[in-house]
Amino acid sequence: MSKLDEMISSFPEAAKEYIKGKKLDEVECVIADLPGIARGKAVPATKFSRQNSFHLPDSIFFQTITGGWGEAAGEEGFVERDMILKPDISTASAAPWTGDWTLQVIHDAFDRKDEPIPFAPRNVLKRVVSLYHEKGWDPIVAPEMEFFLVARNLDPANPIEAMMGRSGRPAAARQAYSMTAVDEFGPVIDDIYDFSEAQGFEIDGITQEGGAGQLEINLRHGCPIKLADEVFYFKRLIREAALRHDCFATFMAKPIENEPGSAMHIHHSIIDLESGFNAFSGPQGGETDDIFEQATDFHQVLHPEFARVYSIVKRAEYDEFLQVISPWEREHLLLNV
């Protein structure tokens, strides 16, 4: 068995099924930066099978969303140290929008002493999850991603507008939970489902949100690290599906001035590893007074930090949405803008 065949045999089932009977051409070695953008390099599959690691400068974590650079200089000045990127083969996933047979693989970042890079997002999340496990808890999450499908906008001076629906008219009305509105974007949604199936992801539901051209996709609940990987892949998947239909997908918090903003809600449960008991649920499956009391204490500590971000977004909105935070809090949703 060749090195390449040996590597392919260790891939997840969805990845093996995608390239079954095909010649794997390329592997994209990717890592998420702080804003969640995929950084990395594409290499021939044969080269990927021969190498155990790759290198990129750690400065990618200090690059801003607009391509600038954050204040990352230390006592030695701005130094671009090489990171060692090691593939997590369990994350191998199809890139079905490419012109050849390509897989993506998420990598973990280490320094030259083989220590995890502390500010790499995936390493941060692994540390957080390990803190739960030390307490004997298993965190379970279910992300909900909101985004807009917008018309191609090649001139940044022009306003962003909702995409043209299959009816030939741009989405204009706010039609929350409307199936007709979802059908308007049917071709894009069909490709999202097809890409998801090729990548082995399970969509829990798609709904029309409150804004014109605004959709929400729910993913099945599971391990925070696995779901973070899926969200990272999913954003790229959705953008690629949109491009096939002459539109853009944006996850910006507030892309259109007079429309509701977008966010990612994370449903969160904590399971006791010994008893299997859900800490957020009472004996009959309902809410508990203890949770509300502790959530209030938690809110008082973190509110000053989150309020600044929340207020910045809300200043651009009309008063009609200001009260929506109360039911969100009651449903134990965490709002990340």
**Looking at per-residue confidence, does 72 or 33 come out higher?**
33
| Structural domains in the chain, sorted by start | 3-117 (3.10.20.70), 137-336 (3.30.590.10)
- Indicate the residue type of 72: A
Element (H, E) at 204: strand 203-208
pLDDT of residue 59: 86
Give me the chain's average pLDDT, please: 84
In three-state secondary structure terms, 137 is: strand
User: 210: exposed, middle or buried (C-beta count within 10 Å: 0-12, 13-18, 19+)?
Assistant: middle
Please spell the DSSP secondary structure of 252-285, one letter per residue. -SSSSTTS----EEEEEEEEETTT--BTT--TTS
**Looking at per-residue confidence, does 171 or 228 come out higher?**
228
What pTM, to 2 d.p., does this model score? 0.82
**Residue partners of 221: CB distance under 8 A and separation at least 6:** 140, 141, 142, 227, 267, 269
**Looking at per-residue confidence, does 289 or 129 come out higher?**
129
290 backbone dihedrals φ, ψ, rounded to 5°: -60, -40
Q: What's the CA dihedral at 332, 311, 239, 186 to 10 degrees? A: 70
- What mean pLDDT do residues 173-191 have? 84
Neighbours of 247 (CB within 10 A): 21
Encode 308-328 in three state secondary structure. Answer: HHHHHHHCCCCHHHHHHHHHH
Using alpha carbons, select from 243, 257, 248 the residue that is nearest to residue 211: 257
Alpha carbons 216 and 145: distance in angstroms, whole number: 5
Which two three-digit tokens encode residue 288? 């508990």
Q: What is the pLDDT of residues 192-221, one digit of tens each?
A: 999 999 999 989 889 988 888 899 999 999
The pLDDT-based confidence of 314 (bands split at 50, 70, 90) is low
pLDDT of residue 331 exceeding 70: no
In three-state secondary structure terms, 236 is: helix
Q: What is the pLDDT of residues 229-264, one digit of tens each?
A: 999 999 999 999 999 999 999 999 888 888 888 989
pLDDT of residue 298 exceeding 80: no
**Looking at per-residue confidence, does 86 or 71 come out higher?**
86
In three-state secondary structure terms, 102 is: strand
Q: What is the pLDDT of residues 92-130, one digit of tens each?
A: 999 999 989 999 999 999 999 999 999 999 999 999 999
Pairing of strands 102-110, 82-87: antiparallel
Would you say 112 and 82 are in contact if contact means Cβ atoms under 8 Å apart?
Answer: yes
Pairing of strands 102-110, 38-44: unpaired
